[in-house]
Chain A
Amino acid sequence: MSAEVTARTRRRLSGLGRVEQRWGWFFALPAIAGFLIFTIGPMIASGVFSLTDWTIGLSPRFIGGRNYHTLIHDHLFWKSLTVTAYYTIGSVPLVLIVGFAIAMLLNQKIKGLSFWRTVYFLPTLVPAIASAVLWIWIFNPDFGLLNALLRGAGLPTSQWIYSERAAIPSLILMSTWGFGNAMVIFLAGLQGIPRQLLEAASIDGAGTWARFRSVTLPFMTPTIFYNLVTGVIATFQVFNQAYVMTQGGPNNATLFYIYYLYTKAFTQGQMGYAAALAWVLFVIVLIVTLLLFRNARSWVYYEMGDAR
């Protein structure tokens, strides 16, 4: 009797389970199909294209790994990689520091808090192209805001994006404009820090710095890590600034990797070679991300040790 009941219960549950499972797949299907058709499919296609000599207008010809071989000897490939790495190394830490600092400020109890939070997030909402055009004017050596400020303070001025040496630092400076997203995530992280720990630290006599150093910062490491990884991935794909502001110049100083890929694919029609460029970037970003994850073990703190 009892065995029979158990069996019946189990069968009924598994029946329900079956229905749920089927519906689960059904509901997940649009996302899965989209991922397969619009992400995995094109990825595989571009992998195949990267093994061909395909110039738009001509039929593709299979050439094996020759595109990848050409790449090694293409000085513009190395130039674009260097430029992009330079930008990433400069921009990511700067955005993290600025975003974190402002998140700390906006985590205080002050009047009009939500107003200030909105104000600091606003630049992020400006469309990318609009802000690029705005910055062209800010960087204008003759009438631009930055040089006007420097002149006003009696400091030497700069040619900004028009100078080979200053172009990337200028764009790094400009990238802090987009700190809003990182800031919001930091802010969420800061709100998650257990109040009792900060209070306990205060009672034990810890000052502001000690509380920041020993409580806030360790609790924030997962958030910092998240912003670091997404920041690195995003900056490797920087494009708008070169496209709108500098066209890769002067003298290829701002020839970002994706901009170079774009000109190869859509200006010169060399689809096979551009696909090879895309795959190389994918592998580079993958390796950098894996290295970051490996390195994270030594400095990212999770409250629940297993959650990593």
Chain B
Amino acid sequence: MSSPTWRPNRRELLRFAGLGAAAAAVPGLAACGGESVTGGSTSELQFMYWGSSFEKTAIEAMLTSFQDSHKNVTTKPLYTPDDYTTKLNTLVASHRAPDLAYLGAPDCFRFGTAGNLLNLYDYIDKYPGLKDRLPYTYFWYGEDKLAGIQTANEVQLLWYNRTAFKDAGLDVPPADAAKAWTWDTFVEMAHKLTLDQNGKSADQSGFDPTKIRQFGCSIGTVLGLNAEALVRSNGGSFFSEDGTQCALDSAATVKVFQDIADLAYKYHVAPTTTQLGNNAPTTTVQLKTRRIAMVADGQWDLLDMAQSDLDFGMGVLPRYTKPVTIGQGGATSIFSQTKNKDMALELYLYHNDPAKVKLFSDGLWMPLEKKYYTDPKLIDLWTKNKAHPAEFKSAVIDYALNNAVATWTQSIKNSAAISELITPPLQQVDNGKKTAAEVCKSVSQKVQPLLKGSYPQGDLS
């Protein structure tokens, strides 16, 4: 008589387990090859974005007013302040991409070239609002292929604490690109503004560099946007324009990198990366507490500055040969699976319209269209308010219009892999462990195989 009970032996158990596993894996595998399963419904547009809680509120208000002024459409904010790329990747992999989304440059190009994003170039004629924007705000991945346009514009500036200058009896940094300080003047000023615990400045004898109360300046890391602006000012670049050659080891670039490192390690007029720390306070706090007197940072700080009671000022970056700043910003893109393409484009044009969104007048954003930089009436629309100081016109508006160039990640292919390779070794320059010449030379050789050219830039004129 056979046993009435099922006593699985090990092999049967394994077979059983294998079956279950296969069953469990099937849906996952089946989903890989398929087309998009779900998205926002016809009447729903999902908008994914990052930012501070302030930006969260402003975007929510923008979405609500869009919904109120457009029939048959609802909007859904997907606010994702942390682990943005992680969440977005997961959504895309599970075919639940949002309709519109903020994208960092590497993600924008990755999804664009993979065909996940709507090619905005196809809609240029139907929606002329997409034209006439500052040339460096577009994310081209081909002459007639447009993956996205910056959400808003930003330029790099020199922020300072007016009281620090008054106390030192110095003139404040120029707010006019034509009068930009030379690098040598900037370094001299930084010396005068660096004070030790006894009140001695860095250019006086008896100055104690181990007990610094107020640093003169901070430029940031050598791969940061401020450093890139200075490199461009010196006639150098990170990579050749066609993206086939590494220019990090060019004399012009190496000089700027070493000059920046010298601020901290040779002259002690800027905090070292360690002193700044991995969780450094914001620029506003650094200036307000007078830990630092001048900080190079983006225009977006104006939101914070205007809300603090700090007596701040805005100036242009120092220059080498010609005055240059970097104009940049993350992209906003439309995912191609969106159900209602026209409505998505309507929202696209709405989401950063200075007449509709208060983030412009609050100081966080700058407009993309040229007319907001040239037409006095339109300039007033976003700058005639308490947040924007008197020097804003020359230090920011004219500077952004005349002196701004795009950052390398906006045109060089394979930028994510390139960054992954070049960032760690260049931290040794930021840490003062090695000279710029030494590191740049070895990095340039190593990065060469990763250079795959640059994206051809479209022409909308």
- Taking Cβ atoms with an 8 Å cutoff, the residues of A that contact B are 14, 17-18, 21, 33, 36-37, 40-45, 48, 54-60, 76, 133, 136, 140-142, 159, 161-164, 245-252, 263, 265-269, 271
Contacts and interface: CB of A to CB of B under 8 A. Distances in A.
A10 B181 CA distance: 101
A142 B6 contact: no
Identify whether the interface residues of B are mostly helix, strand, loop, or mixed: helix
Interface stretch (B25-33, B63-71, B190-198, B259-267): B25-33
Give the bracket for the number of chain B residues in contact with chain A. Answer: 35 or more
Contacts of B183: none
A76 B421 CA distance: 9
Interface in B24-48: 24-25, 28-29, 32-33
Contact of A44 (B25, B93, B274): B25
28 contacts: A18-B5, A36-B17, A36-B21, A36-B24, A37-B24, A40-B21, A45-B28, A48-B25, A48-B29, A57-B116, A59-B33, A60-B32, A133-B279, A140-B277, A161-B278, A162-B278, A245-B278, A248-B424, A249-B427, A250-B427, A250-B431, A251-B425, A251-B428, A265-B89, A266-B83, A267-B416, A269-B89, A269-B92
Contacts of B427: 249-251
A17 B5 contact: yes
Contact of B86 (A17, A248, A266): A266
B22 interface: yes
Contact of A41 (B24, B110, B425): B24
A41 B28 CA distance: 9
Contact of B25 (A21, A45, A265): A45
Given A141-B274, A164-B428, 17 more contacts: A37-B20, A42-B25, A43-B21, A44-B25, A45-B25, A133-B279, A141-B275, A142-B275, A159-B274, A251-B428, A266-B89, A266-B90, A267-B86, A268-B106, A268-B417, A269-B107, A271-B93
Contact of B21 (A44, A59, A263): A44
A302 B152 CA distance: 68
Interface string B77-110: 0000001011001101100000000000011001
Contact of A58 (B21, B24, B114): B114
Contacts of B22: 44
Contact of B110 (A42, A55, A251): A55
Contacts of B29: 45, 48
A36 B23 CA distance: 9
Contacts of A268: 106, 416-417, 420
Interface string B273-311: 111011100000000000000000000000000000000
Given A18-B5, A21-B5, A57-B116, A40 B17 contact: yes
Nearest to B430: A250
Given A45-B25, A164-B433, A56 B278 contact: no
A288 to B, nearest CB: 24
Identify whether the interface residues of A are mostly helix, strand, loop, or mixed: helix
Nearest to A15: B4
The interface centre, meaning the residue of B22, B114, B116, B278 with most chain A CB atoms within 10 A of its CB, is: B278
B21 A57 contact: no
Contacts of A36: 17, 20-21, 24
A28 B63 CA distance: 49
A265 B87 CA distance: 11
Contacts of A136: 277-279
A40 B20 contact: yes
Contacts of A140: 277
A43 B20 CA distance: 12
Contacts of A247: 278
Contacts of B433: 164
Contacts of B4: 14, 18
Contacts of A249: 424, 427
Interface string B400-440: 00000000000000001100100011011001010000000
Interface of B: 3-6, 17, 20-25, 28-29, 32-33, 83, 85-86, 89-90, 92-93, 106-107, 110-111, 114-116, 273-275, 277-279, 416-417, 420, 424-425, 427-428, 431, 433
A32 to B, nearest CB: 8
A250 B434 CA distance: 13
A33 B24 CA distance: 10
Contacts of A76: 420
A55 B107 CA distance: 11
A60 B30 CA distance: 11
A58 B427 CA distance: 33
B440 to A, nearest CB: 14
Contacts of B275: 141-142
B194 to A, nearest CB: 16
Contacts of A245: 278
A255 B277 CA distance: 18
A263 B420 CA distance: 10
A82 B153 CA distance: 42
A252 B427 CA distance: 9
A305 B331 CA distance: 67
Given A21-B5, A57-B116, A266-B89, A162 B24 contact: no
A29 B337 CA distance: 40
B424 A252 contact: yes
B106 to A, nearest CB: 8
Given A45-B29, A268-B416, A162 B273 contact: yes
A271 B31 CA distance: 14
* Nearest 9 CB-CB pairings of A with B: A41-B24, A57-B114, A36-B20, A266-B86, A162-B274, A40-B21, A252-B424, A251-B424, A45-B25
A57 B28 CA distance: 15
B428 to A, nearest CB: 6
Nearest to B20: A36
Nearest to A253: B424
Contacts of B424: 248-252
A43 B28 CA distance: 12
B15 to A, nearest CB: 13
A43 B89 CA distance: 20
Contacts of A164: 428, 431, 433
B55 to A, nearest CB: 22
A88 to B, nearest CB: 22
B5 A250 contact: no
Contacts of B114: 55, 57-58
B25 A41 contact: yes
Given A40-B17, A58-B114, A266 B85 contact: yes
A29 to B, nearest CB: 11
A43 to B, nearest CB: 8
Contacts of A56: 89, 92-93
A36 B306 CA distance: 56
Nearest to B13: A32
B331 to A, nearest CB: 15
A250 B428 CA distance: 8
A136 B279 CA distance: 8
